[in-house]
Amino acid sequence: MIKIARIDGDGIGKEVTEAGVAVLESLDLNFDFIEAEAGRECFDKNGTTIPEETIKIARNAKATLFGAITSTPGQKSPIITLRQELDTYANLRPI
């Protein structure tokens, strides 16, 4: 089972990750999607744009599928935080 962290984020991010998951599942490669939170809705609910649990889930996954987020003024960026915490620098986006 290949673990993939799934971070839907906000707004269109939910639709984007849903479509991405559908494509990946069609490959029948035995993926296990682990849901995690980040973004403005997460901030409104939890008081943080990216909980430690989300970082932990991403750290333990082979890949992270990250939707889109709404920036929260004065708060740390979830995507930059993930890049720093996981020491990653690639951000692949479809054209």
Mean pLDDT of the chain: 93
Do residues 8 and 35 lie in contact, with contact meaning Cβ atoms separated by under 8 Å? Answer: yes
**Rg of the chain over all Cα atoms, to the nearest angstrom:** 13
pLDDT of 10 higher than 90: yes
Put simply, whether the predicted model's pTM sits higher than 0.75 gets the answer yes
User: What phi, psi does 93 have (nearest 5°)?
Assistant: -130, 140
Q: How confident is the model at residue 47 (pLDDT cuts 50, 70, 90)?
A: very high
Question: Residue 43 and residue 55: Cα distance in Å, rounded?
Answer: 15
